[in-house]
Structure 1
Amino acid sequence: MDFNNDCFYCVKDPRLTNLMIEICQLEASTLYLFKEQTYKGRCVVAYNGHKNELFDLNDEERDLYMKDVAKVARTLSKAFSADKINYGAYADTMTHLHYHIVPKYKNGPSFGGTFEMMPKDKVLLKDDEYNELINIIKGNL
């Protein structure tokens, strides 16, 4: 499996753990809860192995990864009654294949537009609140 010593998804150092909490391993990826929770249930699905682009995966790897992305999106939609799921694959400087899976809610932040990667007024939770979200997600996977 490809590995990059400069990549926080590969190394799993504080650059990663300051931003997100590992929920579980999926078939081809790792599921993380994003600590900034303006969009309740926001997660990241990071490919297991250091790949930069979706087209860097062979057909089987891509199919397994996208199966994970779809599974997480379905899970978050069900678990949090989201009105829409947004998918963000912005990686200009973070060269590790990952998708932000962002539940959106009518009358909620940014509905009808692009979600904010790091909103000005961040919504950070207490540990027990993160654990509650993680348990809800795991219960719906």
Structure 2
Amino acid sequence: MSEFSLAPQLAADCEWIVDLDLCKVLLLKDANYPWLVLVPEVPNCKEIIDLSDKQQAVFWRESAKVSRVLQQLFTPDKLNIAALGNMVPQLHIHHIARYKDDVAWPKPVWGQHPAKSYDATLLTERVAQIKQQLML
């Protein structure tokens, strides 16, 4: 049996926040949007249906928790949740807080605007703020 390892592209594009029971929670380093990524720590997993029934139940609970944290902290107009995997086949699910005045609204975020880097201080604060709420 192979061991789980985070896809290199996700490791490069994201900041680790916390490990939940099933998933790693990552912050995508794009300050245009509050954007979290859940990655189930299951080797060779590409699709949600690759998870066992028990793992799927845990995943959906963790997805709901992450969604609630995004709503509480950022009060978005809409939450976008997506699992594409065309560029990075490892199962990872995007949770993006969207606003009617964000740079891509109402279009999807992909390919609309270049990622905006976080200021180092804001990145540290954002990670701590999200981690604190996820641990409640």
**Which TM class, normalised by the smaller chain length?**
0.7 to 0.9
Normalising by structure 1, report the TM-score.
0.83
Matched, 1:120 2:113: yes
CA contact (8 A) 1:29 1:65 kept: yes
The separation in 2 between residues aligned to 1:119 and 1:3, in whole angstroms, is 35
Q: Matched residues in 2 for 1:89 and 1:126: separation?
A: 27
Change (3 A) 1:78 1:96: same
Q: Deviations over 1:19-72 (max 9, x none)?
A: 111000012100001012211x21110011121111111111101011111111
- Equivalent residue, structure 1, for 2:3: 3
Q: Which runs of 5+ in 2 are unaligned?
A: none
What residue is the counterpart of 1:65 in the other structure? 59
| Structure 1, unpaired ranges of 5+ | 5-9
% identical aligned pairs: 23
SS of the aligned residue for 2:15 comes to strand
| Corresponding residue for residue 38 of structure 2 | 45
**Shift in alpha-carbon separation, 1:105–1:34, aligned structure 2, 3 A:** same
Q: Which amino acid aligns with 1:137?
A: I
Of 127, 136, 140, 2:133 maps to 140
* Aligned residues: CA RMSD: 1.9
